[in-house]
Amino acid sequence: MKFQVVYCNHQTAELAVREKLAFSSPEQLGQAYETLREEFPHAEHVVISTCNRIELYSAQENSKPIPSQNEIASFLAHFHRVPRDSFADNLLEHSGPDAVKHLFRVASSLDSMVLGEPQIVRQVKEAYDFAGQSDACGPLTNALFQGALRVSSRVRTETKLVEGRVSIASVAVGDFGKSIFNRFDDKTVVVIGAGEMAGETLRYLKKEGAKTIIVVNRNKESGEELAGEFCGVYHPFSELDHWLSEADIVVSTTGSLQPIIDVERFAAARLAHKKKPVFILDLGAPRDFESAVGNLDENVFLYDIDDLKTICERNRKTRKGEIEKAERIVEEETLQFMHGIYHRATGPVIKRLREEWHSIRQREVDDLFSKLPHLESKDREHIERTVERIVNKLLHPPLEALRDESESGTPHLLLNALKKLFRLNEPND
């Protein structure tokens, strides 16, 4: 039984690299799962694709090789039609217990830019659910991701990582926004897109007093739903340029494959209000605004996901003790999970070996007693116990070796050797 993750995240790759590899729509991700099934038919897969990370988890029940890092890199290059050399050096790989531990840390937000952020566990659950709907999961990935959700719950319950500003939206508004504006109640907020991140950001802006909220979205139904939730007004995407010119704060979370606002478009929108400060929070992955928009003039303040790194690192340093508690939980859960997986692999062989040997023991003892009918019951009991102890002592070395080997992974070679030596894989034996 094998586990592996190949990934790039905010620590290993710049936003521009992550943008190339992101799966920006359910349709695209569904196509990716179809391709993975064709290329690696024996493996289970779950893909996590967010603004901060692209991670591909693979698991395999049998002895066939799991997709290698090079094979996953080739898949990503072919699927996204990008040169492999443009991102291959940014990919990392973990296997076995390290892959399990990595997911447990991700789900617990220990690997996030914003320590303790609640959004990541939702993203992990949604990724797992979508993989299940796409028939990409299996027994190993089911166990793995259910374990990750359990670990996340423990970390949130048993530590204080979630206290204070812990989400990307809260840090963006509380640190970036407040460095530009002293108040929000007189500002016009324009939200481009209507996804979960947009809603989370609006919750913090409303908490800070924002009143005038404009939601611009291609889909009218979801745009009106988001606007209604925050007492805002929906406008069609065709009016975006007008509302860009009116905005004091822009929150963009469309997930478009290409930037939707380039320098020329935004410069045209600002003609009437060149001296007005505008705070742009680009939370799209890939980014929605060209990075050069931030250099348009001194009153344009453009921040994207990568700009959160400095503040998030400061956040992390103030929670050192809670991090240590969370890491201990992750270590404990990883060890327990792997022991369960190894037992799942070795358990049937151990059970079969014990059954075979004790069946032989019982037959031989019964045969002996049939030849010695004069034995009293106490003598029979002593003989049975003695023979049973002999069998258990003979079984101890191979089972002990199997247990020791299982500490570092499923011992396929030893399992196969035991099956062959004791003919355990022959059904009529």
Assigned token pair, 238: 């065709």
**Residue partners of 419: CB distance under 8 A and separation at least 6:** 349, 425
Beta-sheet strands, E only, within 26-137: 44-49, 53-60, 92-95
Whole-angstrom distance, CA of residue 287 vs CA of residue 193 = 13
Assigned token pair, 345: 């692999």
Instruction: Specify the amino acid at residue 83.
Output: P
Interstrand relation of 2-9 and 53-60 (parallel, antiparallel or unpaired): antiparallel
**Residue partners of 130: CB distance under 8 A and separation at least 6:** 26, 29
Assigned token pair, 413: 């070679």
| DSSP one-letter code for 374 | T
Helices (H) and strands (E) in the chain, counts: 16, 10
Whole-angstrom distance, CA of residue 330 vs CA of residue 327 = 5
Nearest Cα to Cα of residue 14 among 314, 304, 251, 317: 304
Q: Which of 51, 137, 231, 312 is catalytic?
A: 51
Asked whether 293 and 272 are in contact (CB, 8 A), the reply is no
Residue 152 to residues 251, 331, 386, Cα–Cα distance (Å)? 28, 13, 50
Q: Please classify residue 310 by burial: count the beta carbons closer than 10 Å to its beta carbon, then call 0-12 exposed, 13-18 middle and 19+ buried.
A: exposed
Residue with tokens 């996204």: 80
Residue with tokens 């570092």: 408
Residue with tokens 């139904």: 221
Assigned token pair, 102: 């990595």
Cis peptide before 286 (omega within 30 of 0): yes
Assigned token pair, 239: 């009016």
CA atoms within 13 A on the CB side of 349: 28
- Give the DSSP H/E element, type plus range, for residue 302: strand 300-304
Q: Let me know if 312 is a catalytic residue.
A: no
Q: What's the first-to-final CA gap in the chain, in angstroms?
A: 26
Task: Tell me which residues are annotated as active site.
Answer: 51
